[in-house]
Structure 1
Amino acid sequence: MAVMTDIALMYCPITVDDVDAAIGFYRDALGLELLNDVASDGHRWVTVGKPGQPGVALVLSDPGAGRSPDDGDALHRLVAKGSGPGPYVFFAADLDAAFERGQASGAEVLQEPMDQPWGTRDCAFRDPAGNHIRINQTWKAAE
């Protein structure tokens, strides 16, 4: 069996019900840049990414984009109640500053920054569509 050494994550899809509201959250709260905005057949696919991290991006799109109407409706219901895919986990060198930006954006706070017993410090939000967003910062407990 061949081992693939040249594989990397490129796109991560995130379903949102309001693409413009999602752009505001991912840009203002998380500091991502708008990389691409494509409309087709009544749907939009918006790509956002981090400066200095080329080749890795999130693709924000509505539930019906590329799906049957039934699947789009089912996915929309799951995301809206917070049971969709995820959580989506991000890393921040300064968790407190990331938390302040998230809170200032109006995002629903699920958890304020706290030390976890497994060695990270993290916080959590819901994006405007209801997706669970976690932000981690490496932290090591005193031994």
Structure 2
Amino acid sequence: MITGFALVCLNVGDLDEAKRFYVDVLGFEVGIDREMDGFRWLTVHVPGRPELPMMLVVPEPPVVEEPIAGQLHSLMARGYLGLGALSTDDCRATCAELKARGVEITEEPEERFYGIDAAFRDPFGNHWRLTQPKTLDDIRDGAT
């Protein structure tokens, strides 16, 4: 039986730049940052949630061979490889904070059936949703 996610991987263009963005700008914490067998393992997680790590990976040889590596970089830059949504308790306030830190907000906060939702991109083009979710009961009941 599957009990949850153990690790989520996100393609990025540069590990040091990704670490600066996800830690210094978004406020994530570093879980692992070490080199093993010629590969740099870098995981980050939201504060206080180390059980939900995101591994930052540069898609390049020898991990990913050409021409696939180039195709992944191209898709990433266009925003096609985003993982999904990050949650927040206050979407509008978080967007304002991120804007002040220089984050590109691509969609301003908007009310949706599942909560308040916005979008932003990381320095590599990865598309993220930022969501202040409603409870599942509210969504099922159609609460606005």
What range describes the TM-score normalised by the shorter chain of this pair? 0.7 to 0.9
Q: Select which of 81, 87, 91 maps to 2:78.
A: 81
1:1-143 maps to which residues of 2 (within 5 A)? 4=1, 7-39=3-35, 44-64=40-60, 66-83=63-80, 85-116=81-112, 118-139=113-134
**CA distance 1:103–1:42, shift in 2 (3 Å):** farther
Q: For structure 1, which runs of at least 5 residues remain unmatched after alignment?
A: none
Query: Would you say the 8 A contact 1:28–1:105 is kept in 2?
Result: no
| TM-score between both structures, scaled by the size of structure 1 | 0.82
Q: How many residues align?
A: 137
Structure 2 CA distance for partners of 1:133 and 1:7, relative to 1, 3 Å: same
CA RMSD of aligned residues (A): 2.3
Q: What percentage of residue pairs aligned between the two structures are identical?
A: 35
Task: Write the distance in 1 (CA, Å) between the matches of 2:79 and 2:25.
Answer: 19
Which blocks of at least 5 consecutive residues in structure 2 are unaligned?
A: none
AA matched with 2:12: V
Q: Per-residue deviation at 1:43?
A: 5.1
Return the offset for 1:125.
0.5
1:84-113, CA deviations, whole angstroms, 9 ceiling, x for partnerless residues? x22421110122232123212322211111
